[in-house]
Amino acid sequence: MLDSIGEFTEQFTPTEGGYLFYPSNACGGKLVTTDEYEQLTERWRKVTGRRARWMIVGIEMLALFFWPDISNVFSLPDWSDWIVVAAPLVGISAWLLWASFAPHRLVRDRPTITPPKPVSEARHQARGLPNWRYTIVVLLFSGVALIVSFNSPERDLERWAWLIGSGALFSLYIWIAVQKFREKQASYL
């Protein structure tokens, strides 16, 4: 559904002597050798591949399985039950962020060898990353979460967080879907 390895490799443009990596829209391309590219791709595969996903699920399942016993033994307050969700989420997010910025750290001190990409090309490439299938799934789930949180009679902090988060995600993916549709229509003309 979401090809994280394919999306990671699309950041690199093949060129003579290796690959070009653009750290941001304002920066020019920086050279990454073929060996460095292969090492980055292999590391990313280890972080987001099938084995890593099963490891993440396993860690979360173990946490969910053992947390009630740990909570009872230490007589932890009720609010601490969120730790079982928040701690793995924060840890996994930090792990993914660290891995995703590996190309940036690699080319940080290297000189630029090409000018920056045009803004229209960079935006087109960014919109092309999530495929239609992924876009539709996110729209469905965020739309359902938005409707459920909007129709909830309770207006506590949790409901407001769900309402704002799902509304923002739904709005973002509506915009992405419209832009993808417009680009597809323009390509037919």
Q: What pLDDT is recorded for position 164? A: 94
Q: Which helix (H) or strand (E) holds 30?
A: strand 30-32
Q: What pLDDT is recorded for position 72? A: 84
Q: What's the rounded Cα separation, in Å, for the pair 91 and 99?
A: 12
pLDDT digits (tens, 9 = 90+) for 43-53: 999 988 888 88
Collapsed DSSP state (helix, strand, coil) of residue 112: coil
Q: What pLDDT is recorded for position 189? A: 59
Q: What pLDDT is recorded for position 39? A: 96
- Reading across the β-sheet that carries 12-15, which strands appear in turn? 12-15, 18-21, 30-32
The 8-class DSSP code of residue 17 comes to: T
pLDDT beneath 50, residues of the chain: none
Q: Which helix (H) or strand (E) holds 25?
A: none
Match 């207006």 to its residue by tokens: 155
Match 């740990």 to its residue by tokens: 70
Q: What pLDDT is recorded for position 30? A: 94
Report the predicted TM-score, pTM, of the whole model to 2 decimal places: 0.69
- What are the residue boundaries of the structural domains of the chain, listed by start? 1-116, 130-189
Q: What pLDDT is recorded for position 188? A: 66
Helix, strand, coil share (%) of the chain residues, nearest 5: 70, 5, 20
